[in-house]
């Protein structure tokens, strides 16, 4: 629930901090004092629209901060939302903030971290439901009706089970669609795949073949130069000329000299041994170099073969990937695709059987859900009509309109009827109402009278209180078009509603205000030639005075009437508590 709201430099509010409790909190004050501005600020911090026109004149930015205590089911939903976005801090508390700057920059924050306004709005929808005077109310949106009915009917487990099979069906249908499309193009695809597979197979590609070919091409292309360098090295190593001795002979002379040296001085033995090792290594080098020189091949025909092979590999790489690995992977995939095409007919038959089985299971489960909804819809209708009767709408009728739409590819729910379906089942649900006899049932959005809308919304909220999971409900002048007699009923309904929700209500009716567990007076004052809104929590005598002023000019008569009203409401609350 909302536990604190801080507003700074928003419209005519300079600075205001509101501490709220559970139960019913009412806000009273003269028209234009700023009651609706407080709700506008709350809506902004919940991710609603906020622009620079709302900044107090002379200020650079407006700031709204809201703190929430989390409990029950909403705590799990909010924490799951925050964890998914990496915004979870304290699982028991949540803070939202909105900064509106003069230069146009607008910052939304969740737990102190900047987020998009749309993300803040998505989270705000889990926390607070604001029912304004002219806006589209959440319960007037048809897409919410089925969800509310399901929560009231407790179909969650049935729906979860249904949706598992529904997802299986969609997966099977996706595979079928892919196979049928493949089957349509099968012959063309088969010819292409056959050609591609044969082309790659004919190449007989080997791992690391390309590198080996390039090395061999380099040797063949440079055979003459390689032979010349090898012969030159051999000449220096092992061939004497008239001009100089070979390196091997020279090193042999060194070995002989050091051997003589060692006979004289044993301390030089290691030098003699090193020289002998060097001579042996040099002899081995000469042998290997001679073998290499003899292996050098002058083979233009083999060079042409290698060039053709490399060219083939390059062509395949351009067609099937940038490497040998890609070509081989392409071949493997092509073989799988070909096998899939060749077995498509058999696979389609198998999937058709699975699809039919899932359709039958879904039809059975959807009917079970639908029947549970129908039973709940009648209970809702009866309860709402009872509520409307208590709110002096005696002849009003309410109906949960449940329809199914025929569809040839839908679920078969009888021998001669197939109906459309989705992840929510087979029902299309809309709440209909008739406020006056003879007018006929109409969608909620067609209700014209503001007073009727207010009373109807209150009746709906009371009946669906257990199904509605939003913890804080805000009603802006729900008493519009309602007189004093009905005001007591509305107050009682709101107070009953506050047993399951935190309820905030802006009102001009003293009969409704008397039911508040918290009572705030919003007033407009002038300080230093500047208008500003201030708010005061009223208790005891100050509250009695406020109710008296709402009843008429403050005098002993209205003060007595206010006192009697508070006593009457106190007795009414006591009776309700005793009734449980």
pLDDT at site 331: 86
Q: Is a pLDDT exceeding 60 seen at residue 135?
A: no
Please, which residues have CB within 8 angstroms of residue 487's CB and are 6 or more apart in sequence?
479, 509, 510, 511, 512
Helix, strand or coil, per DSSP, at residue 420: coil
pLDDT at site 518: 95
- Exposure string (b/e) for 384-414, b if CB count within 10 Å is 16 or more? bbebbebbebeebbbbbebebeeeeebbebe
C-alpha pair distances (Å), 272 with each of 238, 245, 282 = 21, 21, 15
| Beta-strand relationship, 530-538 and 518-527 | antiparallel
Structure tokens at 199: 């082309």
Which tens digits make up the pLDDT trace of 9-18? Answer: 999 899 999 9
pLDDT at site 341: 75
Going by pLDDT thresholds of 50, 70 and 90, the confidence category of residue 347 is confident
Q: Is a pLDDT exceeding 50 seen at residue 46?
A: yes
**Number of Cβ within a 10 Å radius of residue 357:** 14
Structure tokens at 292: 């290499």
Structure tokens at 286: 């000469």
pLDDT at site 137: 55
Task: Please give the Cα distance from 437 to 416 (Å, whole number).
Answer: 37
What is the separation, in whole angstroms, between the first and last Cα of the chain?
Answer: 23
Task: Please give the Cα distance from 352 to 172 (Å, whole number).
Answer: 9
Which tens digits make up the pLDDT trace of 179-200? Answer: 787 676 776 777 788 888 888 8
Concatenated DSSP letters of 71-131: -HHHHHHHHHHHHHTT----TTEEEEEEEEETTS-EEEEETTEEE-HHHHHHHHHHHEEEE
**What is the four-CA torsion angle of 408, 414, 415, 417, rounded to 10 degrees?**
-30
Its pTM stands at 0.61
């Amino acid at each position: 629930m909302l536990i604190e709201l801080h507003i700074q430099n928003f419209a005519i509010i300079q600075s205001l901090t509101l501490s709220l409790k559970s139960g019913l909190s009412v806000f009273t004050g003269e028209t234009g004092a700023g009651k609706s501005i407080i709700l506008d600020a709350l809506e902004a911090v919940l991710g609603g629209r906020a622009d620079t026109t709302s900044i107090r004149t002379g200020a650079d930015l407006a700031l709204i901060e809201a703190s929430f205590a989390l409990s029950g089911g909403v705590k799990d939903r909010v924490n799951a939302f925050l964890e998914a976005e990496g915004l979870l801090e304290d699982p028991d508390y949540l803070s939202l903030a909105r900064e509106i700057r003069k230069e146009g920059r607008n910052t939304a924050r969740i737990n102190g971290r900047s987020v998009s306004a749309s993300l803040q709005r998505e989270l705000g929808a889990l926390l607070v439901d604001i029912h304004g005077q002219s806006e589209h109310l959440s319960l007037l949106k048809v897409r919410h009706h089925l969800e509310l009915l399901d929560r009231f009917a407790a179909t969650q487990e049935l729906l979860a089970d249904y949706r598992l099979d529904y997802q299986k069906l969609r997966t099977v249908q996706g595979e079928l669609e892919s196979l049928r499309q493949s089957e349509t193009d099968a012959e063309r695809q088969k010819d292409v795949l056959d050609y591609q597979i044969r082309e790659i197979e004919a190449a007989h590609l080997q791992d690391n073949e390309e590198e080996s070919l390039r090395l061999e091409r380099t040797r063949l292309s440079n055979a003459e130069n390689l032979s010349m360098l090898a012969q030159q090295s051999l000449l220096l190593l092992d061939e004497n000329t008239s001009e100089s001795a070979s390196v091997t002979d020279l090193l042999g002379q060194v070995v002989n000299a050091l051997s003589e040296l060692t006979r004289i001085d044993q301390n030089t033995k290691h030098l003699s041994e090193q020289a002998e090792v060097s001579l042996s290594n040099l002899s081995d080098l000469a042998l290997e170099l001679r073998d290499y020189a003899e292996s050098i091949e002058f083979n233009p025909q083999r060079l042409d073969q290698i060039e053709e092979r490399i060219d083939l590999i390059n062509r395949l790489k351009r067609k099937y990937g940038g490497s040998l690995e890609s070509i081989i992977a392409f071949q493997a995939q092509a073989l799988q695709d070909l096998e899939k095409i060749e077995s498509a007919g058999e696979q389609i038959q198998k999937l058709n059987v699975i699809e039919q089985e899932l359709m039958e299971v879904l039809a059975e489960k959807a009917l079970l859900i639908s029947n549970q909804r129908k039973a709940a819809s009648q209970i809702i209708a009866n309860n709402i009509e009872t509520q409307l009767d208590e709110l002096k709408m005696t002849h009003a009728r309410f109906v949960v309109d449940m329809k199914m739409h025929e569809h040839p590819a839908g679920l078969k729910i009888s021998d001669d009827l197939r109906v459309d379906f989705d992840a929510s089942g087979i029902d299309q649900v809309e709440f209909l109402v008739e406020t006056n006899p003879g007018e006929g049932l109409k969608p909620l959005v067609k209700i014209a009278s503001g007073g009727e809308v207010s009373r109807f919304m209150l009746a709906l909220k009371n009946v669906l209180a257990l199904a509605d999971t939003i913890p804080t409900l805000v009603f802006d002048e729900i008493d519009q078009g309602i007189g004093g007699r009905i005001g007591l009923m509305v107050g009682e309904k709101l107070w009953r509603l506050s047993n399951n929700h935190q309820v905030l209500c802006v009102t001009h009716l003293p009969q409704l205000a008397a039911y508040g567990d918290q009572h705030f007076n919003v007033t407009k004052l002038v300080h230093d030639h500047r208008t500003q809104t201030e708010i005061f929590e009223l208790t005891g005598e100050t509250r009695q005075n406020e109710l008296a002023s709402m009843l008429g000019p403050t005098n002993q008569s209205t003060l007595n009437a206010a006192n009697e009203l508070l006593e009457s409401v106190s007795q009414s609350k006591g009776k309700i508590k005793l009734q449980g």
